[in-house]
Structure 1
Amino acid sequence: MTIFRPMAWSLSIKLPVIVCLVVVGVAAVIGAGVVGKDRIELREALSDNARLLARWVAASAAEPMLRDDSWSVYRILRQVTFEGGGGETEVVTAMVLDREGKVAAHLQPGENPIGLPLVVHGDSEAKLLAAALGAHAPMVHEDEDGKFVEGVAPVFAGGKYVGVVRVRLSTRQLTEATREAALVVLALALGLAALGSLVGIRLSLGAVRPLRRLADAMALLGQGDHAPVSIKGGDEIAQLGESFNQMAAEVAEKQRLERELAQSEKSAALGRIAAGVAHEVNNPLAGILNCLSTIKDHPEQPDLVTRYLPPIEKGLHRIRAIVQDLLVEQRAEHASELCGPECLDELRDLIIAEIEGAGITLDWDNRVHAPVQVNRPRLQQAVLNLLKNAAQAMPDGGCLKFSASLDGGLLRMEIEDTGIGIAEEDLRHIFDPFFSSKKSGTGLGLWITLRLLNSMGGGVEVTSEPGKGSIFSLHVPVEGEGHGPAQQ
């Protein structure tokens, strides 16, 4: 689901969310700083209060302790609880100990009788007691759980150390104040989040709508619609819209020029083919007409029919060969089929019959073992044309090599001969219709081969060196296990 993939959200959702998160984050950081600062100040105030109370009790209890008047010391502690402490719930406990650690007065006398050592529970309390008995000046201690702060003040009477005062104040009010401040910050953050969402929505409406119009226009541009998009304003989005309109106009103009160029090239190609057909057909046709004219002008010589019939038949066969070559692509089947290794190996038997007695050795290396989906007639026609051309390029014999293999989704083939080779100036023309360096050729074989390969989405590359031979490298997309679809 896209709700769990933020990267897939639309900009109209992302922008308000980002603004909201930024506002909430800033509010949270500022609020945390304020709450933390207030908590520190409140704790310092609580510590100062505990220290002052302990000092006040120490000053008030000095004389009663000299008289060993525990009741007066207890009354002073009670006075601290109700008057100096600011409320009974604020003071956790208070006590006065003599210098030996025995209780001189305690707010809970039932648990800590006068004259007996202070009852200590746990290591934490023992550490606090030891620190208090060792104090020679007013100080503040905190427990490990942060539930109270303890003000400690030594008691001096007549210049002598006679005991110590311990006053514990609860941190409950501090915790409640911190919680209230945190709630205020949370409410402020929620309010700012709502405000940020509104601002984000307003910004998204102003930014996303023109961007969406641009996206729709780009989609239509891909379908051939070059209509301009209207975006008002002078900001970057409006400038982007102007750039898009300029690009769309340039694309439309480019496509128009490409269509005109393609039409011109098509017309030129048709003209060249028509001229070539006219030239190639006209030569044998002229010979046929001459033979027929001679026979017609000399009816008294019946032997002329026997004499001129073979050249007439030869000329007609040549005309038929030209027409068949031109129509070979139309005769090829358009449907692809599943072909195994035999699809290419069948051509080996055909070419062996072609080169028999010509002094040509055949090196056949077909490494295509898995069946593939391909247009079988077109593939075989193209490969066979090149194999025959390679054989014809070795009139004095030589070596004809063929290899085939699968490379991803491509069927790669290579046909190599050790024949006469192709001149460098002829390489650029060998695939032109009616171009041939052979006296008996029609000049259509390689042109048809290239068209067959192109119709399957493939192609061919040629390297050649005069006197040493040529290499034709073919590639055709195929469909099979792990391969993409073949071109039809």
Structure 2
Amino acid sequence: MNLTSYRFRIPLSLAVVAIITALAFSLAVAYQTYRNIQIEQQRTGFRLAHAMEPVLARAIRHDDIWLAYSLLREPSGAGKINTGFPAPFLVLLDEQRHIFASNQPEHFPLGVALADLHSELARLGSESNRENPVVQWRDGQLLIVPVRSADAQVGTLMLGFSTGVFWNRFREILIGAAPVIGLVLLALIGIGWVWGQRIIAPLTSLSHCMERIGRDDITRMQCPTYTGSDEIGQLGQRFKLLLEDLRNKQALEEQAKTQERLAAIGRMAAGVAHEVNNPLGGLFAAIDTYRHTPSRQRDPDRTLALIERGLQQIHTVVSALLVESRLETRPLTHQDIDDVATLVQADATTVNKAIHWDNQLPRELPLPANAVRQILLNLTLNAVQATPPKNKITIELTADDDALQILVSNPGEPIPPAILAHLFEPFQSQRPHGTGLGLWVTYQTVTQLGGEIDVESQARLTRFRVRLPLTKTRTKVA
């Protein structure tokens, strides 16, 4: 699973948002519940204090300690706080702030001044006021309520509540609400995941379709696109337009290739017509001359010789166009390269040009010998004819386990770009009396052998490179 994909990132993000929202909501509810418990505890304490106030005031006025003690011990609860006092604890002070009664007499002895017994409680009691009778005390709250009789304060009632009471009730509420919160959280995660998958589905489909570009036939590609008015819909519409543009571009490229092929065929047909019409014109002229010549002045041998040379020229042109489809299977040897070197050496010497052969064939190769000889011969003779006198042509042959590579390099004027673009088409020649078929035949032969041929022509150097694979031809040689 690729977590960097938006297919998972968006649903996971929604799920995380749902979890954070649920947790934040739960914490807010928990805090508010905690505050409600505190407020409820304070209200309960105040109601209790106000309910006991008349009786406690009468007990103080009549010095009835037992009445006060009996009243204070009833609301006692369980639980400890850090001071060791049970909670809640209730302490009744008289006007001199001595302990008059308490629900925990073992901790708050009667008649003892509160300041002498617990200075902190005495300080908090003195700091309280009617506007804020609730003060925080260590791990709990302290309620300080004045006890009045006939609009005169006769004592003070102190009620202490431990936070342990709050947390116990808080845990009870959380434990009761936990299953509901868990179910809501799971529902939010599930909804977020499904919703995220639906949001990302158009982008996923668009991504898969984009991956097919360049791999499948674009003219047959059918990609479902999202047609909404949002950003994804706009992206889908743009992608649809892009596909149409690519289809149109491919159609134009195919049309251009077809036109180029037709143009090449037209050039070839024109070349063939030109090369054949020239000798045909001479043949017709020879026959017409023979007919109009008086019988006694006719020279049959001369006329037949003219006709034979014309037909031979036509035969040469047609034969050059008929590249053999089945290549002979005699393997290529080192001696075959030496034979080609011997054949072209005389032509090179005649025009005062040198040929350097770098023949590195290590062994017999599974390539048709005559075909390779013809390729090498055509390229070498072209290099000899294109090289200025007193210059050197370099022929390099190397082979490995995969292919034979031939490099033919010669100095001289570079091939013009207009000719270079059509160099391997028939009847494309720079020489005044050339047929322009040598390189075309070479190209056809290299192609039949499953190889590649290319040319590089720049300032004062032209290089032909031929690569003939061995793996594709072993079956033919075997």
- Interval of TM-score (by shorter of Structure 1 and Structure 2): 0.5 to 0.7
C-alpha change, 1:270 and 1:171, in structure 2 (3 Å) is: same
CA distance in 2, matches of 1:177, 1:409: 81
Tell me which of 472, 476, 479 is aligned to 2:463. 472
Match of 1:461 in 2: 455
Distance 1:27 1:433 in 2: 79
- TM-score, with length taken from structure 1: 0.55
Q: Tell me if 1:212 matches 2:201.
A: no
Of 342, 347, 350, which aligns to 1:353? Answer: 342
State the Cα distance separating 1:256 from its structure 2 match: 3.5
1:304 pairs with one of 287, 300, 303 = 300
Aligned equivalent of 2:130: none
Deviations 1:32-68 (A, max 9, x none): 798799999x9xxxxxxxxxxxxxxxxxxxxxxxxxx
Shift of 1:222: 3.5
Secondary structure of 1:355's counterpart equals helix
Q: 1:5 to 1:218 in 2, by over 3 A?
A: closer
Partner SS for 1:331: coil
8 Å Cα contact 1:214/1:241 also seen in 2: no
Check the 8 A contact 1:214/1:229 in 2, yes or no.
no
CA distance in 1: counterparts of 2:309 and 2:439, whole angstroms: 23
Alignment of 1:383-394 (within 5 A): 383-394=376-387
Distance (whole Å) between structure 1 residues aligned to residue 24 and residue 447 of structure 2: 66
- Per the TM alignment, residue 277 of structure 1 is displaced from its structure 2 partner at its CA by 0.3
Is the Cα–Cα contact under 8 Å of residues 23 and 193 in structure 1 kept in the other structure? no
Structure 1: runs of 5 or more not aligned: 43-81, 96-134, 139-148, 152-168, 481-488
Query: Cα distance, 1:443 vs. partner?
Result: 0.8
Do the aligned partners of 1:409 and 1:478 also contact (CA within 8 Å) in 2?
Answer: yes
Q: 1:282 aligns with which of 260, 277, 300?
A: 277
| Cα distance, 1:27 vs structure 2 | 3.5
Report the CA distance between 1:276 and its aligned residue. 0.7
Following superposition, the deviation at residue 284 of structure 1 comes to 2.0
Change beyond 3 A, Cα 1:88–1:239: closer
Distance 2:356 2:420 in 1: 25
| Match among 422, 426, 435 for residue 433 of structure 1 | 426
1:252 aligns with 2:241: no
Letter in 2 for 1:352: A
Give the Cα separation in 2 of the matches to 1:176 and 1:475.
91
Shift of 1:270: 1.6
Provide the residue aligned with 2:232 in structure 1. 237
1:117 maps to none
Amino acid at match of 1:472: R
User: 1: CA distance between counterparts of 2:369 and 2:9?
Assistant: 53
* In 2: Cα distance, 1:409 partner to 1:88 partner: 94
Q: C-alpha distance in 1, partners of 2:440/2:470?
A: 25
RMSD: 5.9
Distance in 2, matches of 1:364 and 1:376, equals 18
Residue 198 (structure 1) shift? 2.0
Matches of 2:165 and 2:364, distance apart in 1: 83
What corresponds to 2:90 in structure 1? none
**2:446–2:452 CA contact under 8 A, matched in 1:** yes
Residue 219 and residue 398 in structure 1: after superposition, are their counterparts in 2 closer, same or farther (change >3 A)?
A: closer
Letter in 1 for 2:18: V
Structure showing greater Rg: 2
- TM-superposed CA distance for 1:183, in Å, is 8.5
Alignment match, 2:50: none
Task: Report the secondary structure of 2:181's partner residue.
Answer: helix
- Residue aligned with 2:440, SS: helix
Contact map agreement 1:405 1:413 (CA 8 A) in 2? yes
| 8 Å contact kept, 1:390–1:419 | no
Return the alpha-carbon distance in structure 1 between the equivalents of residues 181 and 365 of structure 2: 68
* 8 Å CA contact retained: 1:372, 1:478: no
5 Å matches for 1:58-69? none
1:192 and 1:374, CA in 2 relative to 1: closer, same or farther beyond 3 A? farther
How many pairs are equivalent? 375
| Separation (CA, whole Å) in 2 of partners of 1:197 and 1:94 | 50
Measured after TM superposition, the shift of residue 237 of structure 1 is 2.5
**What is the identity, as a one-letter code, of the residue corresponding to 2:357?**
D
Residues 420 and 216 of structure 1: CA distance in aligned 2, closer, same or farther (over 3 Å) = closer
Of 156, 181, 184 in structure 2, the residue corresponding to residue 188 of structure 1 is 181
CA positional deviation for 1:282: 1.3
CA offsets 1:338-368 (integer angstroms, 9 cap, x no match): x9xx8585663242122233333323154x8
CA distance 1:22–1:454, shift in 2 (3 Å): farther
Q: Is the 8 A contact 1:19 1:200 kept in 2?
A: yes
Q: Structure 1: how far apart are the matches of 2:30 and 2:372?
A: 80
CA distance in 2, matches of 1:403, 1:178: 91
Task: Please list, as runs of the form range in 1=range in 2, the aligned pairs for 1:358-437 lying within 5 A after superposition.
Answer: 358-359=348-349, 360-364=354-358, 366=360, 382-394=375-387, 396=389, 398-403=391-396, 413-418=406-411, 422=415, 427=420, 430-437=423-430
Q: CA deviation at 1:265?
A: 2.5
Deviation of residue 175 (structure 1)?
9.0
Unmatched 5+ stretches in structure 2: 38-72, 86-117, 122-137, 141-161, 472-478
Alignment pair present for 1:224 and 2:219 = yes
Distance across 1 between alignment mates of 2:285 and 2:212: 65
Residues 16 and 419 of structure 1: is their aligned pair in 2 closer, same or farther, counting only changes over 3 Å? closer
Distance 1:136 1:478 in 2: 105
- Contact 1:398 1:418 (C-alpha < 8 Å) held by counterparts: yes
Distance 1:291 1:190 in 2: 108
Alignment partner for residue 256 of structure 2, among 261, 267, 272? 261
Amino acid at match of 2:427: F
Shift of 1:91: 6.9
Q: Secondary structure at the match of 2:229?
A: coil
Q: Distance in 1 between matches of 2:182 and 2:205?
A: 32
